[in-house]
Structure 1
Amino acid sequence: MGHEVLDVIKQEILKSRYFSISVDSTPDITHTDQLTIIIRHVNMTNYEPVERFLTFIPISSHTGQNLADTLIQYLSEQNIDFTHCRGQTYDNASNMSGKYIGMQQILKNKNSLVDYISCAGHSLNLVGQSAVDCCVEAVSYFGFLQRLYTFFVASTRRWRILLIHIEQKPHCLIPKHLSDTRCLAQFISDCREKFDIYEQKASDRCGNSSYKYESATRQIPKRKKHVSEGSAADAMESMTGKQKFKVNTFNVIIDQLNSALKKRIEAYSTMQQRFDVLTEFESMSDDDIVAAIERLVGVYASDLSSDFYS
């Protein structure tokens, strides 16, 4: 039955002609690493995009070259023409996304039209991870949450006791594992201006509005200042605990989020500009539509005829 299902999938791919690939490796219960191969194409019956799982392939090496060779060999064995592949998507691991010896580049060297799109969920997770690692306070806080989760989840008795206490406090949150693949759902561009709102919510939840900076009243000996020195140090010393936390922690995290988000967005801008005529044509002028289609035909000259837009 499995072979018959695979034959049907291959016939669907043959009818649609073009497809994209998505692969990843995962260990099974016997600790054997296996490469998962998934193909995405358009179902020509209802013209809806579909994803089809093809197979697991045991692998012994995670190099980009080995993964690419394994994929090409399997597609060849199944009579799936790799020259019709038009896209590839993986996570951001260097062996997959590397610009020189990553799997995506090796496949692109074989077929220049196989454009690489990094996993959006994993990219957002990396954005969050970069913000977590940007300052000592954030590293300490999220490290504490991870240790707290590990402590309770290691024992079913501890976890049950935790849940009993949480049920008595409706505003208390359940600790969760800091997953490496958890998607970060939303980022608010103007949250830098909402510090007071977040502070108030945190104060209401924990019942404490004091800052550790306020108790750290360390006497700093005075020293002779040079002409070139500014008053930044004096300004920091005169700040309240709230101001120091906002400047040294809150703003640092938010700025890192914004910077990382912009960097990740740039990775998708090329594809968005290439296919914007398919999603935004209703708001485009006739001249803009023609120009966009000409650009699209220029990229996929072997797939689209020159009179495609006439």
Structure 2
Amino acid sequence: MAQQVLKYLCDDCKLDFAKCRGQSYDNAANMSAHYNGMQQNLLDANQFAIYVPCAAHSLNLVGRSAVDCCQVAVGFFSTVQLLYTFFSASTARWRILKDCIGNEKVLKSLSDTRWEAHAVATAAIINSFFKILEALEDLSDDQLQKGDTRREAKNIANKMQELEFVFMLNFWNETLEKFHRTSQLLQSENVILQTCADLYSSLADQLHTSRDEFERFESLAKDMLPDVEYKATQTRKRIRKRMPNDGNAPEVILSARDKFRIFTFYVIVEKLETEMRRRLLKVYTKIADRFSCLTDGPNAQSSYSRARWATPAKYNGLTCSTLWRGSWAFFPAHFSNLSLPDPTRLAV
């Protein structure tokens, strides 16, 4: 594939690949792998063609990793998908659902490739939560329905009326809405590397703040289900062998609420924030700072850009003046709005 891309760029597009300073696509293994991926093959042909992972796709992977780190989150989205599958499998059930929700948004399916689909799916459920419950209860009480249909409708309705499910519904609906807005901005045709880094940083800060909002999400859940408490964990108590240095401190027994807060809520939030900051610091901030000389000019805010303007040394095989001449030629509309010196007069 790499050879086909090189042939297309050189023969069809008439581009000199030796002057390429970047390559970007999604995080699929055949594209981003460090040994046999296309980005590595192109780097072998030109060591300065830095690989920049697709920012929107990386955002999808952040959400995916947060869900996979916690079984409660996996179970929540399984129920969300099961809810759509149950109604969409029968036109009669779908008609009952439509009669109950009226003009509200219908249920949506999840998607493995588009994380925004999760935001749409959770929003559809939370906006019509009680109407969906009504449709499920109608199906479970309908004697004309098959036994399996009535049982499945009852099971889904019981799952939806658990406090943990409603808590996760409110949390993920708000979190996914933030992801969705950020993803839309990242896919804008006018976005630049520094904007990408700023958006990642802003989202990471918002996720950090949500760690302290457990009580708020709990309050939202209890407003929807005021008479429901956390489901007690029905597991056999494990008797741990006491060691000589354990002391006489009694063993700490956590309530169902504390277990959910510590082992589910905190785990998800920390995973989201950690993945965001890892990708931000490892990829986008570093690359944005590296290429900031193309947009910042002599009043650059980054240390890298200020150093390049103060000392016009070679940068990836090109001098700063060469970079500016090429950038001015390729992006005249952008540079016409900046207060910059004549790039042809920069010292080499």
Structure 1: gaps spanning 5 or more residues: 1-66
Partner of 1:200: 219
Which residue identity lines up with residue 245 of structure 1 in the other structure? F
Q: Deviations over 1:250-269 (max 9, x none)?
A: 00111111111122112112
When the two structures are superposed, what TM-score results if normalisation uses the length of structure 2? Answer: 0.58
Partner of 2:73: 138
Instruction: Tell me, yes or no, if structure 1 residue 69 matches structure 2 residue 9.
Output: no
Structure 2: gaps spanning 5 or more residues: 117-178, 183-202, 323-343
User: Compared with structure 1, are the counterparts of its residues 291 and 159 closer, same or farther at alpha carbon in structure 2 (3 Å cutoff)?
Assistant: same
Asked whether the 8 Å contact 1:166–1:174 carries over to 2, the reply is no
User: Compared with structure 1, are the counterparts of its residues 150 and 244 closer, same or farther at alpha carbon in structure 2 (3 Å cutoff)?
Assistant: same
Instruction: Tell me, yes or no, if structure 1 residue 240 matches structure 2 residue 174.
Output: no
Counterparts of 2:283 and 2:302, CA distance in 1: 28
1:105 to 27, 34, 40: 40
Q: Greater shift after overlay, 96-105 or 299-308?
A: 299-308
Seq. identity, %: 34
User: Compared with structure 1, are the counterparts of its residues 175 and 223 closer, same or farther at alpha carbon in structure 2 (3 Å cutoff)?
Assistant: same
- When you count strand as a share of all residues, which structure comes out higher? 1
How far the C-alpha of 1:151 sits from its partner, in A, is: 2.5
1:212 is paired with a residue whose SS is: coil
How far the C-alpha of 1:105 sits from its partner, in A, is: 0.9
Counterparts of 1:101 and 1:252, CA distance in 2: 34
When the two structures are superposed, what TM-score results if normalisation uses the length of structure 1? Answer: 0.65
User: Compared with structure 1, are the counterparts of its residues 285 and 142 closer, same or farther at alpha carbon in structure 2 (3 Å cutoff)?
Assistant: closer
Q: Deviations over 1:151-190 (max 9, x none)?
A: 333344433432332338x7x9844424422253354221
Asked whether the 8 Å contact 1:128–1:257 carries over to 2, the reply is yes
2:317 to 267, 288, 301: 301
Partner of 2:285: 269
Counterparts of 2:41 and 2:248, CA distance in 1: 54
Q: How many residues in Structure 1 have an aligned counterpart in Structure 2?
A: 238
Asked whether the 8 Å contact 1:121–1:181 carries over to 2, the reply is no
Instruction: Tell me, yes or no, if structure 1 residue 255 matches structure 2 residue 273.
Output: no
User: Compared with structure 1, are the counterparts of its residues 290 and 91 closer, same or farther at alpha carbon in structure 2 (3 Å cutoff)?
Assistant: closer
Q: What are the equivalent positions in structure 2 for 1:178-193 lying under 5 Å apart?
A: 178-183=111-116, 184-185=179-180, 187=203, 188=206, 189-193=208-212
How far the C-alpha of 1:224 sits from its partner, in A, is: 4.9
Q: What are the equivalent positions in structure 2 for 1:5-24 lying under 5 Å apart?
A: none
Q: Greater shift after overlay, 275-284 or 103-112?
A: 275-284
- When you count helix as a share of all residues, which structure comes out higher? 2
Asked whether the 8 Å contact 2:84–2:108 carries over to 1, the reply is yes
User: Compared with structure 1, are the counterparts of its residues 279 and 83 closer, same or farther at alpha carbon in structure 2 (3 Å cutoff)?
Assistant: closer
Cα root mean square deviation, aligned: 3.4
Counterparts of 1:296 and 1:96, CA distance in 2: 34
RCO comparison, higher one (Cα < 8 Å, 6+)? 2
Counterparts of 1:86 and 1:288, CA distance in 2: 17
How far the C-alpha of 1:309 sits from its partner, in A, is: 4.2
Counterparts of 2:249 and 2:110, CA distance in 1: 39
User: Compared with structure 1, are the counterparts of its residues 219 and 77 closer, same or farther at alpha carbon in structure 2 (3 Å cutoff)?
Assistant: closer
Asked whether the 8 Å contact 1:92–1:119 carries over to 2, the reply is yes
2:286 is paired with a residue whose SS is: helix
